[in-house]
Amino acid sequence: MKLPIYLDYSATTPIDPRVAEKMIQCMTPDGNFGNPASRSHAFGWHAEEAVEEARKNVAALVNCDPREIVWTSGATESDNLAIKGAAQFYQKKGKHIITCKTEHKAVLDTCRQLERDGFEVTYLAPETNGLIDLKKLEAAIRDDTILISIMHVNNEIGVIQDIEAIGEMTRPRKIIFHVDAAQSAGKVAIDLQKAKVDLMSFSAHKIYGPKGMGALFVRRKPRIRLEAQMHGGGHERGMRSGTLATHQIVGMGEAFRIAKEEMATENERFRALRDRLLNGFKDMEEVYINGDMEHRITGNLNISFNYVEGESLLMALKDLAISSGSACTSASLEPSYVLRALGRDDELAHSSLRFTIGRFTTEEEIDYTIEQVRKNVDKLRELSPLWDMYKDGIDLKSIQWAAH
């Protein structure tokens, strides 16, 4: 077993060696290095073929038409293009947008920018399990609502929103529905023939493809129009100019092809590993799972060890690559906005760890993780005055703490 152990697959994944192999074939003088936009020679034609093959593979995973896939530099760009592009194009119809407080910053900050540009945004609070109450969503819809943006799977807690049900709400009202699927593609079955989603963002590096590569699904029927955010040579039907990065695109295509083939068996394996991890903590006191366990991707476990601060725990777990919702891991000093939006007490947010399991995780690694976490939680609780108070039966909420 090699240390440190990587359990942060929601942050990024390594490129699958099969993907890397394909990418390398599109770089060097002997390879398929041409500009896919070159129409006058075989280098261009071959590159274009590879790009279109990749487009088919991406489309196949989510059951859409390849012509509905627009290449981008990543899910952040896809989110920007979808939200700004749709808002700008349809602003004459209305200027109201609905999203959720637990969205990725690529959606939230894009919405903030639109607010500065005169749009009005409703940020829905999720329920305590991280899921959106569809009735509350419906109640937030107004006559001037033009766009709803809801992520499929949350990056921190892994919960899966019911995008099919939301699509049933938006389509009859002719509201554009954007879904950030960066964390769901390849992990949850997506059928864009069924789900009435109009725009969907994808990332390559979350499913063993290269970083710096993504795609946006733009529905053709009914046709969704976007104001381009990147102007130039008119690539990608004018929606996103810029020379296509053949090797990156081929990498994303191969990653999506493998995901389609292996998703079902992989999910079974992840579930077993995740349950093994969770079972390893079951008999510990004051352990809380963040987010719904049923509507959740198999590879995610977000858990709070009460009375232990997350960053100090991460420091102790130096052989584990995991992340914490504690403020201290970032420069902001605010604990995870996602956990706060669930109504979690700040101390529980500060005590949270996110484990994300992936393609190369082994049972042995999970067992080692359990052992390390248990040992260090115990050690830090021995150091914690809050643990003492809990053991003495003192209600921490009864104490007047001085916020600082």
The 3-state secondary structure of 273-317 reads HHHHHHHHHCCCCCEEECCCCCCECCCEEEEEECCCCHHHHHHHC
- Site track 253-292 with other proteins (rule: CB under 8 A), x = hit: ----------------------------------------
Residue 273 CA: distances (Å) to CA of 15, 191, 287, 323, 362: 21, 27, 19, 18, 8
Residue closer to other proteins, measured from CB, 52 or 346: 346
Tell which one of 187, 309, 353, 356 touches other proteins (CB under 8 A). Answer: 309
Adjacent-strand bridge partners of 302: 354
CB 151 within 8 A of CB 183: yes
Tell which one of 315, 319, 375, 391 touches other proteins (CB under 8 A). Answer: 315
Q: Is 100 a catalytic residue?
A: no
Q: How many CB atoms lie within 10 A of CB 197?
A: 26
CB of 348 to other proteins, least distance (A): 9
Residue 343, CB-side half-sphere exposure with 13 Å CA sphere: 8
Q: Does residue 27 interact with other proteins by CB under 8 A? A: no
Q: Does residue 8 interact with other proteins by CB under 8 A? A: no
Orientation angle between helical segments 105-116 and 75-89, nearest 10 degrees: 30
Using CB under 8 A as the binding rule, the residues of this chain from 317 to 376 that contact other proteins are 326-329, 331, 333, 335, 345-347, 350
Residue type, 40: S
Residue closer to other proteins, measured from CB, 282 or 404: 404
Residue closer to other proteins, measured from CB, 139 or 396: 396
Torsion of CA 33, 37, 41, 45, to 10 degrees: 70
Q: Does residue 175 interact with other proteins by CB under 8 A? A: no
Length of the chain: 404
DSSP 8-state secondary structure symbol assigned to residue 392: T
CB of 121 to other proteins, least distance (A): 27
Adjacent-strand bridge partners of 355: 301
CB 355 within 8 A of CB 275: no
CB of 351 to other proteins, least distance (A): 9
Residue closer to other proteins, measured from CB, 52 or 345: 345
Q: Does residue 24 interact with other proteins by CB under 8 A? A: no
CB of 238 to other proteins, least distance (A): 44
Residue closer to other proteins, measured from CB, 275 or 347: 347
Active site residues: 328
Q: Which residues bind other proteins (CB under 8 A)?
A: 307-309, 311-312, 315, 326-329, 331, 333, 335, 345-347, 350, 382-388, 396, 401-404
